[in-house]
């Protein structure tokens, strides 16, 4: 008999491109970071819904404070990716 908790915990798989080599890295829904199997770069799952990046209403939609925090996070993530690219 299977534990009912196991049944409701459905893991989904998604793919995110490695910022260094572009390989699609497999993420299970409970994973936030996976090492790229090809080049060992740490690939972080984007937590931000993509609409926030382009939607003009995003700031009022999710709240200015949260929006600014997310944008700051994304800028820092982009800076990290740049460093990886040039140092790697």
Question: Interface with Zn ion by CB under 5 A: which residues?
Answer: 18, 20-21, 23, 36, 38-39, 41
Q: How far is the CB of 17 from Zn ion (least distance, A)?
A: 9
Q: How far apart are CA 33 and CA 43, in angstroms?
A: 6
Q: How far is the CB of 73 from Zn ion (least distance, A)?
A: 22
Q: How far is the CB of 42 from Zn ion (least distance, A)?
A: 10
Backbone angles phi, psi at 30, to 5 degrees: -95, 5
Q: How far is the CB of 85 from Zn ion (least distance, A)?
A: 11
Tokens of 58: 């995003």
Tokens of 36: 């790229």
Q: Which one, 22 or 49, has the nearer CB to Zn ion? A: 22
Residue whose entry in the numeric block shows the structure tokens 């382009």:
54
Q: Which one, 38 or 69, has the nearer CB to Zn ion? A: 38
Closest CA to 83 of 16, 17, 20, 18: 20
Q: Which one, 33 or 69, has the nearer CB to Zn ion? A: 33
């Amino acid at each position: 008999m299977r534990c009912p908790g196991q049944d409701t915990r459905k893991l989904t798989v998604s793919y995110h491109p490695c910022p260094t080599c572009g390989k699609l890295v497999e993420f299970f829904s409970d994973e936030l970071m996976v090492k790229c199997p090809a080049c060992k770069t740490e690939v972080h799952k984007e937590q931000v819904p993509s609409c926030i990046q382009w939607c003009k209403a995003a700031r009022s939609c999710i709240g200015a404070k949260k929006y600014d925090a997310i944008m700051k996070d994304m800028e820092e993530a982009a800076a990290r990716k740049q460093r990886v690219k040039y140092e790697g």
